[in-house]
Amino acid sequence: MPDHTHDHQPAPAPGQPHDHAHDHAHAHAHAHDDAVAQARGHIAAPTRSLRLGVAGPVGTGKSSLIALVCRELSGELALGVITNDIYTDEDARFLRSAGVLDPERIRAVETGACPHTAIRDDVTANLLAVEDLEEDFAPLDVVLVESGGDNLTATFSPALVDAQIFVLDVAGGGDVARKGGPGIGRADLLVVNKTDLAPYVGVDVPQMVADATTARDGRPVLALSRHDAASVEALKDWVRVMLAAHRAGAHVPQDPGPMAPHFHADEDHPAGGILHSHA
């Protein structure tokens, strides 16, 4: 493992308040022509970490994707993770047990409400968790923020993350990618996950990727299996390129758009649930 020790101020003692004022200025420099080569080379230290959101429906493999990124890139980058669950810290405990990072670098936010509420409507709890993590382990290269499992409309606020990955999986059906929605359509990267399962669920992966590419107007789509070295390397290169662009001031966080109205089942609600929007 490389030495991620840097000159920095020590973290506050337990119980002391954190100062959440951070310098969000970017260095405005030209991006290197070969982004992958630049990302693999020596890059000046960022003013703060690249904050990378990971969203998608329940069961698509968001936690496994984050574990994969940590396992593959922790040897070259200083990483941290924030997970979101409604009532538990299940995803954080999964990642800690996987041994992909120092357990102290993996922290949980219990949202207590719709998963997307804490990543889009009121990001305070997540933002404070990210800033605490950045302060305690400064400087970090990348902080991954995992949304709780949600529907196809879930997106992160650009006030919380700099870029976002939306995750689908082949077990959800080959037609899901062409259904669209702000997450599928406008996230910085769409991952079609668990492609090794395609023969068992009758999904044509090239067609699913083609449908997704059409739905995204040509924005990047990655067919991923943790068992396929080429796709894993492509994911690593995407993270490296995004980090290089962030450090160079060449990436501007985009708002994928408001969530569509949607229904939440609730046995305690008189109508059995509630239809609402997050415009």
DSSP state of 87: S
- Residue 71 makes CB contacts below 8 A (sequence gap 6+) with 98, 100
Q: What is the pLDDT of residue 89?
A: 86
| 45-252 CATH, one of 3.40.50.620, 3.40.50.720, 3.40.50.300, 2.130.10.10 | 3.40.50.300
Residue whose token pair is 């077990």 = 171
CA 230, 235, 239, 245 dihedral sign is: positive
**Which three-class secondary structure state does DSSP give residue 19?**
coil
- Phi, psi values for residue 91, rounded to 5°: -65, -40
Average pLDDT for the chain: 82
The span from the CA of 138 to the CA of 170, in Å, is 38
59 and 152 Cβ atoms separated by less than 8 Å? no
Q: What is the mean pLDDT of each run of 10 residues along the chain (279 residues)?
A: 43 42 35 46 65 94 97 98 87 94 95 79 94 97 90 86 97 91 93 98 97 94 98 98 96 76 50 50
Q: How far is CA 10 from CA 5, 7, 128, 215, in A?
A: 12, 9, 18, 47
Predicted confidence at residue 245, as pLDDT, reads: 97
Exposure of 150 in the CB half-sphere (CA atoms within 13 A): 32
Q: Which of 172, 195, 192 is nearest to 184 (CA)?
A: 192
In this prediction, residue 7 carries a pLDDT of: 42
Q: How many residues does the chain have?
A: 279
> Residue 242: its pLDDT value, please?
98
Please tell me whether residue 194 adopts helix, strand or coil conformation: coil
Whole-number pLDDT of residue 121: 87
Residue 97 annotated as binding? Answer: no
Determine if residue 59 is labeled as part of a ligand binding site.
yes
Tell me the two tokens of residue 181: 């929605």
The reply to whether 63 sits in an annotated binding site is: yes
58 is in an annotated binding site: yes
Which residue, among 226, 251, 246, has the nearest Cα to 236 in the 3D structure?
Answer: 226
239-147-88-264 Cα dihedral, nearest 10 degrees: -160
Nearest residue to 231 (alpha-carbon basis) of 223, 239, 242, 243: 223
Q: Give the number of other Cβ atoms within 10 Å of residue 133's Cβ.
A: 21
| Separation of alpha carbons 1 and 54, rounded Å | 25
Question: For residues 130 and 148, is the Cβ–Cβ distance under 8 A?
Answer: no
Alpha-carbon span 80 to 2, nearest angstrom: 16
Bridge-based pairing of strands 163-169 and 189-193 is parallel
User: In angstroms, rounded to a whole number, what is the distance separating the alpha carbons of residues 206 and 118?
Assistant: 34
- 57 marked ligand binding residue: yes
Is 194 annotated as contributing to ligand binding? no
Between CA 262 and CA 206 the distance in angstroms is: 30
Q: What is the pLDDT of residues 237-252, one digit of tens each?
A: 999 999 999 999 999 9
